[in-house]
Amino acid sequence: MKTDIEIAQEANLKPISEITEQLNLEITDWEPYGHTKAKISDSLLEKFKDRPDGKVILVTSINPTPAGEGKSTVTVGLGQALNRIGKKAIIALREPSLGPVMGMKGGAAGGGYSQVLPMEDINLHFTGDLHAITSANNALSALIDNHIHRGNELNIDPRRVEWKRVIDMNDRVLRQIVIGLGGPLRGVPREDGFNITVASEIMAILCLSTSLEDLRERVSRIVIGYTYDEKPVTVKDLKIEGALTLLLKDAIKPNLVQTIENTPAIIHGGPFANIAHGCNSIMATKTAAKLGDYVVTEAGFGADLGAEKFLDIKTRAGEFDTSAVVIVATVRALKMHGGVNKDELKEENVEALKAGMENLQKHIETIEQFGLPFVVAINKFPTDTEQETNFIKSWCESRNIEVALTDVWANGGEGGIELAEKIIDKADNENQDFQRIYDLNDTLETKIRKVAQKVYGADDIELSAKAKKQLVFYEQQGWGKLPICMAKTQYSLSDDPSLLGRPRGFTVTIRELRPSIGAGFIVVLTGDMMTMPGLPKKPAALNMDVTPDGKILGLF
Amino acid sequence: MKTDIEIAQEANLKPISEITEQLNLEITDWEPYGHTKAKISDSLLEKFKDRPDGKVILVTSINPTPAGEGKSTVTVGLGQALNRIGKKAIIALREPSLGPVMGMKGGAAGGGYSQVLPMEDINLHFTGDLHAITSANNALSALIDNHIHRGNELNIDPRRVEWKRVIDMNDRVLRQIVIGLGGPLRGVPREDGFNITVASEIMAILCLSTSLEDLRERVSRIVIGYTYDEKPVTVKDLKIEGALTLLLKDAIKPNLVQTIENTPAIIHGGPFANIAHGCNSIMATKTAAKLGDYVVTEAGFGADLGAEKFLDIKTRAGEFDTSAVVIVATVRALKMHGGVNKDELKEENVEALKAGMENLQKHIETIEQFGLPFVVAINKFPTDTEQETNFIKSWCESRNIEVALTDVWANGGEGGIELAEKIIDKADNENQDFQRIYDLNDTLETKIRKVAQKVYGADDIELSAKAKKQLVFYEQQGWGKLPICMAKTQYSLSDDPSLLGRPRGFTVTIRELRPSIGAGFIVVLTGDMMTMPGLPKKPAALNMDVTPDGKILGLF
């Protein structure tokens, strides 16, 4: 079997100028980055404000397992399939982080015959968005510590600086550090730590901004820490929202590339899906909606995290509608939810599959609560047996649930035509009765409880002493009307990663809150969230190389 | 008077495709980065290997002072002037670091009517080269600490890891830090520190590589530290030269932009001029020489550092000739060398000017020792009086030294025509007897002594106990045949920054050596070298902004 990069290297990429021409873009609407990548002007939304918007199709999934679901691959394959059946569809994806690329084998640009290209650029520096975010994040850090060092007029408490430095690298030794050592010329010593860039609030801000002006406004609201008398200190207090926005002036522009079948794809922004909302940028999704009749986009992790945040956070900030939802499931992952362990997934096991369907069932209920039409997509793996896929199909059919078998990794758009036809039917013809899980006027505690009960299926929530204190403080600060961003394990519907399937009778423990006032949400932590990954014993970097004539080896 | 950015914003930039067309580049020879920037393929040198090379003109200067010399501005102005007199000339400059941009007002892309554009991009993220270098540098750091954390097969002594992390930011609190705190999951604790990106050995390597293959080879030779039994550990030992080269595959490609008068300019690489060699990349200079009949390029700081390293390090590694040298001086700076303090530079003072000429005299002697033809350029400032500029002219003329008054900040190429004509005459017609200051077969100590005596005018050198021990160790390691890279204050010919003019009777103290085996030189430290700048009390960032329609404010 060919690898992703081998398939990618055989692809017949069009010059990006052909893709922009196909989208009827003028030369002032976009800028090339090499011959196969472009940035689309952030003023396009204003220019096309009277144009009707294309319909947004969200791709989400069951709870991920090590067996893999292939949500990005289905997203790309569906976009390709829609074009094959004559629809003008554009794909909108997250852009990958460089850090993990050096560590684990495997990219984040789809796979097989449903991938976005040039995958080697997309997975390395791409158009520099993540570097710009790193720069803006760390300029803020340097300016905070410089402020403290040079008299500390704002009375910032060095023990309460919450703003962390970031680096786009898996670098565990930077998780907990001490800075400013070596005497008065080297600043004021304090404890600090680095997060990976995608965990920066600036990434979340970039993804939730609707314009450069909105981005500047959001950046100015970032709370970087607290004074000695526990008042929040913002970027506006430091007077550097202008400089940080300047560093992000190009990063805010959505990136245009193409799939292996030359379908236009906008790849832009990639915030964490736990401490942030895990969706590509609003700029990307809305731009895609101006350029296509259908936008196929995804959200990180399963529907309990990704779809909930897409619908409760992203579509609120972006003020756009969702027309239909694809829920991706795989035979392998459902068998794991049904109790099969990783080494035995190749063997047919309809009983386990049957048990695992509970997980899918809960995510279906969640999408039904949102009142959105949906189709279940079975993403085919070579080891699936016909009996297994047939079981899922009849399970769905007996419940009047639309289902489609997709084979987009191996067959590209051709493998997603059934799904394409069914989802278009849903998006075009089915009535929807969209409602969000919570109201912004609910208290923060009510919002958390509603998500835990309605989306996770919990009996209730339990607040730590710290969280209780924070809830009072946050409401006092006027932060109570913000949406919440749940940081929970992606592996389980509950807050215990070992509980697969559909856990029942559990309580979600709320450990602590964090304000992302610039992004515009309150992060709710249900456990220890890793915001700086480490490298494995044998990092993928050991296999990588580039030949003198530029051929790339070992990237995937 | 208009500011640099105001002048820049009024400029009439051509699409970069017109510049590449003017240079007869084919579409496969270059890639666009936006509409006014491009990267030139690193395979162009191979493609054009049989084409004759253009002549290289080096722009250097007297010892810099806070009064300013405007070496980059003269370089750009001279390039423009050469085109005005009908010569096909290309400018090759260093690319600026983002870090200082946030701190101090003032860019690094020339000034006034002799600047390279788009200056706002060049001074911010440009084409991402510095970000790629940061990534490669820090991937190496993460992989070193991961190696130590996961069993330390190579027996690396954590106390002797010399490879530092970097960030393209002025961030003093990162100068001295402790990493790996917080228990076994967070790595092995050790002391560390961040340098600014331009101080990374990877930057020096990028600038001294002649191809991607050469870069890979150099990267593999980097010494990252020592084992417990004091053996050097290299990147090759860690087996990650391929991954690091992959991260640099685009950064090695020279960047093409244009000046305000549409003269082609290649801006690529920008290593420190103290702990590194302070010149733009060999790829840039050699590519420019393939595309133009004349290349105008510069080297950092005064001739004692920049020109010496350009001629002893860069032209050795790149195996190219230098045809003529411009030595830039200003009335203001010469007056400072003659004892006038900064606040009184506006007042005419021919006596001080006369005293300050000694500094210029020494740099002239240095270029004469190299056996290269040269012209002195007086870079005009509005406060210069005719009597002052006339004094310099007659001083030169009485010594048979070619001199030209330039006014390129205010008048662009037009202000550099006299200089252009004189330097072309030197480059085309004057015999040269080029010889370097030292032979590679000299011992390291002899090399250091020769530079100190012949270039700085020192009586001798004095070696610290540490440096003596290192000299022995380095020769044992087989590093003795490498050129040396002197790290000395730029403000004085001596190692004491307060000694202006032409110090005599001094000894240069050699404090310590450092191996830059990848770059291919031994760094010789004569004092404390700052490799991580700090921010001032009122950072330039406070004035920066960008309007909703993308207009940039306060960048310069």
With CA atoms as reference, report the closest residue to A455 among A436, A428, A442, A471: A436
SS3 B51: coil
Confidence of residue A330 (pLDDT cuts 50, 70, 90): very high
Confidence of residue A555 (pLDDT cuts 50, 70, 90): confident
Alpha helices, DSSP H, located in A374-521: 386-398, 408-411, 417-429, 444-450, 465-476
Alpha carbons within 13 A on the beta-carbon side of A332: 18
- Torsions phi, psi of A297, nearest 5? -140, 165
Confidence of residue B9 (pLDDT cuts 50, 70, 90): confident
Whether B136 is catalytic: no
Which pTM does this prediction carry? 0.97
**Using N-to-C axis directions, what is the helix angle for A71-84 and A417-429, rounded to 10°?**
80
pLDDT tens-digit series, residues B447-488: 999 999 999 999 999 999 999 999 999 999 999 999 999 999
Strands A460-463 and A403-406: unpaired
Pair B31, A34: CB distance under 8 Å:
yes
Report the pLDDT value the prediction gives residue B107, as an integer from 0 to 100. 64
Which CA distances in Å does A25 have to A16, A38, B22, B202? 11, 12, 27, 39
Pair B204, B142: CB distance under 8 Å:
no
Average pLDDT, whole number, for chain B?
96
Report the pLDDT value the prediction gives residue B131, as an integer from 0 to 100. 98
Answer yes or no: do B541 and A139 touch at CB < 8 A.
yes
Q: Where are any strands of DSSP class E within B137-236?
A: 156-161, 165-167, 177-179, 190-192, 194-196, 223-227, 232-234
What residue in B sits closest to A136 (Cα-Cα)? Answer: B169
Omega before A118 within 30 of 0, i.e. cis: yes
**B192 residue type, one letter:** D
Report the pLDDT value the prediction gives residue A5, as an integer from 0 to 100. 84
From chain B, the residues in CB contact with A539 under 8 A are 143, 146
From chain B, the residues in CB contact with A548 under 8 A are 211-213, 216
Q: Which of B33, B169, B186 sits opposite A138 (nearest CB)?
A: B169
Distance from CA of B309 to the nearest CA of A (A): 28
With CA atoms as reference, report the closest residue to A444 among A459, A457, A461: A461
Report the pLDDT value the prediction gives residue B517, as an integer from 0 to 100. 98
Burial class (CB in 10 A: 0-12, 13-18, 19+), B549: exposed
From chain B, the residues in CB contact with A31 under 8 A are 32, 34-35
The kind and range of the H/E element at B376 are strand B374-379
Q: Which of A135, A180, A543 sits opposite B168 (nearest CB)?
A: A135
Q: Which of A102, A125, A187 sits opposite B173 (nearest CB)?
A: A187
Catalytic residue among B320, B391, B409, B479: B409
Confidence of residue A106 (pLDDT cuts 50, 70, 90): low
Confidence check: pLDDT of B106 > 70:
no
Q: Is B269 annotated as a binding residue?
A: no
With CA atoms as reference, report the closest residue to A38 among A215, A270, A250: A250
Answer yes or no: do A142 and B32 touch at CB < 8 A.
no
Distance from CA of A538 to the nearest CA of B (A): 9
Put the strands of the sheet holding A223-227 in their side by side order: A156-161, A223-227, A232-234
From chain B, the residues in CB contact with A167 under 8 A are 138, 167
The kind and range of the H/E element at B56 are strand B55-61
Answer yes or no: do A245 and B546 touch at CB < 8 A.
yes
Span A248-255, average pLDDT: 98
Q: How far apart are CA A121 and CA A102, in angstroms?
A: 14
To 5 degrees, how large is the angle CA B41–CA B42–CA B48? 90
Report the pLDDT value the prediction gives residue B109, as an integer from 0 to 100. 84
Alpha helices, DSSP H, located in A175-224: 201-208, 212-221
Which of A104, A246, A250, A252 has the highest number of chain B CBs within 10 A, making it the mutation to test binding with B?
A: A246
What ipTM was estimated for this complex?
0.96
Distance from CA of A145 to the nearest CA of B (A): 7
Q: How far apart are CA A20 and CA A390, in angstroms?
A: 42
- Torsions phi, psi of A221, nearest 5? -85, -10
What residue in B sits closest to A103 (Cα-Cα)? Answer: B143
Answer yes or no: do B139 and A541 touch at CB < 8 A.
yes
| Residues of A labelled as active-site residues | 71, 73, 94, 105, 273, 301, 381, 409
Report the pLDDT value the prediction gives residue A107, as an integer from 0 to 100. 63
Distance from CA of B48 to the nearest CA of A (A): 15
From chain B, the residues in CB contact with A283 under 8 A are none
Q: Which of A135, A186, A243 sits opposite B173 (nearest CB)?
A: A186
Whether B422 is catalytic: no
Q: Which of A32, A173, A546 sits opposite B212 (nearest CB)?
A: A546
From chain A, the residues in CB contact with B171 under 8 A are 138, 141-142, 145
pLDDT tens-digit series, residues B287-298: 999 999 999 999
Confidence of residue A310 (pLDDT cuts 50, 70, 90): very high
Longest dimension (CA), chain A: 73
Average pLDDT, whole number, for chain A?
96
Tokens 């009586």 belong to B459
Confidence check: pLDDT of A105 > 70:
no
Confidence check: pLDDT of A449 > 70:
yes
Coarse DSSP helix, strand, coil percentages of chain B, rounded to the nearest 5 percent: 40, 20, 40
Pair A197, A134: CB distance under 8 Å:
yes
pLDDT tens-digit series, residues A56-102: 999 999 999 887 789 999 999 999 999 999 999 999 999 999 988 89
Contacts of B547 (CB under 8 A, 6+ apart): B553
| Alpha-carbon torsion (B487, B493, B499, B500), positive or negative | negative
Put the strands of the sheet holding A512-516 in their side by side order: A484-487, A521-525, A512-516
Confidence check: pLDDT of B526 > 70:
yes
Pair A354, A365: CB distance under 8 Å:
no
Confidence check: pLDDT of A2 > 90:
no
Query: Binding site residues of A for ATP, as ranges?
Result: 65-72
Q: For chain A, what percent of residues have pLDDT higher than 90?
A: 92
From chain A, the residues in CB contact with B177 under 8 A are 177-181
Backbone dihedral region for residue A503 (phi beyond 0: left; psi -120 to 50: alpha; all else: beta) = beta
Answer yes or no: do A545 and B139 touch at CB < 8 A.
no
Contacts of A27 (CB under 8 A, 6+ apart): B35
Confidence check: pLDDT of B105 > 70:
no
From chain B, the residues in CB contact with A554 under 8 A are 242
CB contacts < 8 A (A, B): 233
Confidence check: pLDDT of A289 > 90:
yes
Confidence check: pLDDT of A117 > 80:
yes
SS3 A371: coil
Q: Which of B132, B178, B555 sits opposite A125 (nearest CB)?
A: B132
Distance from CA of A90 to the nearest CA of B (A): 23
Answer yes or no: do A172 and B178 touch at CB < 8 A.
no
Answer yes or no: do A246 and B546 touch at CB < 8 A.
yes
Q: How far apart are CA A183 and CA A266, in angstroms?
A: 48
How far is CA A58 from its chain centroid? 12
What residue in A sits closest to B243 (Cα-Cα)? Answer: A544
With CA atoms as reference, report the closest residue to A222 among A245, A205, A210, A208: A205
What DSSP assignment string belongs to A452-490?
A: IIIII--SEEEE-HHHHHHHHHHHHTT-TTS-EEEE--S
Q: Is B15 annotated as a binding residue?
A: no
pLDDT tens-digit series, residues A130-180: 999 999 999 999 999 999 999 999 999 999 999 999 999 999 999 999 999
Pair A318, A282: CB distance under 8 Å:
yes
